[in-house]
Amino acid sequence: MKQQATGTGFVDGRKPVGRRLRLRAPAKVNLHLEVLRRRHDGYHEIETVLQAVQLFDTLDVRLDEQWLGHAPEILVSVDGPVGGVPADETNLCWRAARLFCEQQRVSGLMRIELHKEIPTAAGLGGGSSDAAAVLVACDKLFGTNLDPVDLEKMGEALGADVPFFIHGGTMLGRGIGTILTPLPTVRACQFLIIKPSLNLSTPEVYGRLNLGLTVQSPKASIAVIKPILARFPQKTWPGFNRLEDVVLPGQPGLQRLVLELRETAVVAMLSGSGSAVYGVFPADRDLAQMAGEYSESGMFVRVVGPHPGGVEIMED
Ligand code: ATP
């Protein structure tokens, strides 16, 4: 067979690679979420404070072979305690890898093993974080060395929360949540995250907002938020989640859970569009008993700290 060497390691348009990366993708909670208005394209303009937390999916991403001139082959497998996540072309990991290849004009055989720990349809941003992790992995594996800002831009096409997970930590999100400004990282606290079996769809929850009543002007200026966040968590935290107005009245169980948490936590609310709720407690508070009780009633329960970063490449 006639072989054609290109000087780049490609022979007949293909080259073996065999590179592998392990990454962890954090969840997020919203410390504040105001919906300002509905845009003509159906998206909603929001003002939100996003906080990454130490609840992680892990991903094993391999580039076995690289080739030129035809579409990538992307194989996704999913395991872990969270069920019901598709392992096909609808998985955000698959879509992220495909988008990266298209935009950067690279291609090859990729295998993505996703270990799912972040519950889905929870408002914890799990799928978006996985997508961000795949973009970061592709950038390393293909050696494209993109600026994080370019990865963020690419991520916008996959979901409004994807850019946040490239940086993580604590951020103010504006626009549809993709215009990000870093805030002082929240420390010295822990989050009790509870997700009942109820699943809520983000578009459906936003669709229920009566925007005639909820159109708002932006309020959360950085100058105001910074000093308040420096003292977080305190009872006087002014953040709230506007989506509670449309979610909680129809879900008495969830409403009870939020009210119960508010009796003991410094701050408690629905995360994103739910159905996960969280309570914030001082770092030295022993939450084992409370967590155990909620867990016994069949709900997903985790006690986690704030995560100062976003998606991370792990050492082997
Ligand atoms: P958000 O806060 O971004 O709204 P969420 O917790 O509501 O997040 P996800 O966990 O991102 O929702 O999942 C929403 C749906 O997306 C799932 O029900 C699932 O069918 C689909 N999905 C596609 N890819 C993934 C993935 N990698 N992880 C989880 N869900 C995925």
Q: Residue 203 CB: number of other CB atoms within 10 A?
A: 11
CA dihedral 206, 151, 101, 59 (to 10 degrees): -80
Largest CA distance in the chain: 75
Bridge partner list, 281: 190
* Cα-to-centroid distance, 235 and ligand 1 (Å): 31
- Pocket lining for ligand 1, CB < 6 angstroms: 85-86, 90-93, 114, 120-128, 130, 161, 202, 272-273
What are the sequence ranges of the domains in the chain?
14-28+54-167+309-315, 184-304
Q: Same fold for the domain at 14-28+54-167+309-315 and the one at 184-304?
A: no
Report the CATH number of the 14-28+54-167+309-315 domain: 3.30.230.10
Measured between alpha carbons, how far is 165 from 135 in angstroms, rounded to an integer?
11
* Cα-to-centroid distance, 22 and ligand 1 (Å): 20
Catalytic residues, by residue number, are 28, 161
pTM of the model: 0.94
Tell which CATH architecture fits domain 184-304.
Answer: 2-Layer Sandwich (3.30)
Q: For 188, left (φ over 0), alpha (ψ -120 to 50), or beta?
A: left
CB 92 within 8 A of CB 128: yes
Q: Which of 92, 99, 197 should be mutated for ligand 1, with most atoms under 8 A from CB? A: 92
pLDDT (tens place) for every residue of the chain, 316 residues total: 444 555 678 888 899 899 999 999 999 999 999 999 888 888 899 999 999 999 999 999 999 999 998 999 999 999 999 988 999 999 999 999 999 999 999 999 999 999 999 999 999 999 999 999 999 999 999 999 999 999 999 999 999 999 999 999 999 999 999 999 999 999 889 999 999 998 888 888 998 887 654 556 767 777 888 888 888 998 889 999 999 999 999 999 999 999 999 999 999 999 999 899 999 999 999 999 999 999 999 999 999 999 999 999 997 6
Give me the amino acid identity at 37: R
Measured between alpha carbons, how far is 78 from 59 in angstroms, rounded to an integer?
9
| N-to-C CA span, the chain | 39
